[in-house]
Amino acid sequence: MTKRYFGTDGIRGTVGEFPITPDFMLKLGWASGRVFARAAETSGRCSVIIGKDTRVSGYMFESALEAGLVAAGVNVKLLGPMPTPAVALMTRKQNADAGIVISASHNPFYDNGIKFFGPDGSKLSDATELAIEAEIDLDLVTAHSRDIGKVVRVDDAAGRYTEFCKATVPEGFNLRGLRIAVDCAHGATYQIAPSVLRELGADVVTMGVQPDGFNINQGVGSTDIGELSRLVRQEGAHLGIAYDGDGDRVLMVDSHGATVDGDELLYIIAMHRLARGKSDAGVVGTQMSNLGLELALREHGLEFVRAQVGDRYVKELMEAHGWVLGGESSGHIICSDVTTTGDGIVASLQVLMALKAANGDFDGLRSGIKMFPQTMINVSVNGRVDLDVPDIARAVAGVEAKLGDKGRVLLRPSGTEPKVRVMVEGEDAETVHALCSDLAASVERALS
């Protein structure tokens, strides 16, 4: 069945436009509460955790979801502003039946969305999302007054998550001697990430730590790291770390201000684990992962398989192969032997362990991977699109013929925005850029 509301990472869109409206969120809370209560199969009352990022509309949607859940007879625990992976953790630690995050991740403040976690801290299955959508079609019926849920606020969630993050590195590990610039995107990590790094001994310089409800991801964070690059050079930092608005992504810059993307970070973690005999047979990436990552891992005897774009699909393929490491170029990195979902802070600590072991030599850690030039252009569209169009097929075939076996082409509709991602990868940067520009123009014409 085709899902009407859920995309690759929950439900997302522009605030005030259906379905990102208070009335829909009320119904979504009620519908999801009914599904979670049925799945719980316990004699006690079902409970759901709610966290959010720092965008101003989070207050409105928190109240609407809370009302819907309570009307369905579900107890609610409110965490306030917390990174997405912290909500996954607290869902497990609090023995809740589900977790909800109110966030549009790396999108601007005028967007928002909802992400769900099951009781094990993993993203929901397609079947559960379809079940929630089916409930949305029903009339909302409030539980009897004796059966409606209650709401409490969890006051120590940030402290618990901070301690969890520090516990993901070996006892005695420290960051003394490292000067780190940290960009928290004015988002959910703005208090926790600097605290974790400082408590591990790092000298921390911060930016993006003054959220006002409107500045989340605005010229800051993992999707715009130019200012972080400048801060690293200005402050003489050894490196910079950039998180996105909800804290499930991380990118870095080296001491020269050069970007280290998610594929390179994944490679660094994999090589560090391999050197210590803690590696699996392989690593999971996505259709967007750079060909250079695949070749570098295979050179060291590690398999590499590609999942659909979306960390939930990466996690599913990791589980199918029995591997514990996977991620995306965007910086979603999952270390499932440490936590259940993509976690920017945890992933950055994994990289920092490798960096400390290499005596701060970022260039050395990256020397084994040669990234292929890759260009991606977003083509705006109206609503869902069908890419199975003869003109598009001919355009793709033409680009693939020019690349031969030295590159790749990928077209895919975004799961979070009304756009088609057009990606071309090859050996020569100028050729790749030109081919991608031509292909994007062909796609735009075909879909207009």
Catalytic residues: 105
Burial class (CB within 10 angstroms; exposed 0-12, middle 13-18, buried 19+) of 311 = buried
CB 187 within 8 A of CB 216: yes
> Any long-range contacts for 313-320 (C-beta under 8 Å, 24+ apart)?
313/8, 313/286, 314/284, 314/285, 314/286, 315/122, 315/123, 315/340, 315/341, 317/284, 318/284
CB 108 within 8 A of CB 58: no
CA–CA separation, 291 vs 300, rounded Å?
15
Angle in degrees, 0-180, between the axes of helices 58-71 and 22-40, rounded to the nearest 10 = 40
Q: Output the six-digit token pair for 214.
A: 């409107």
Q: In DSSP terms, which residues pair with 423 in a beta bridge?
A: 376, 410
CB 332 within 8 A of CB 314: yes
Strand order in the sheet with 303-307: 303-307, 282-286, 325-327, 333-335
CA–CA separation, 275 vs 348, rounded Å?
18
Q: Is the peptide bond before 373 cis (omega within 30 degrees of 0)?
A: no
Q: Output the six-digit token pair for 41.
A: 């199969």
CA–CA separation, 79 vs 81, rounded Å?
7
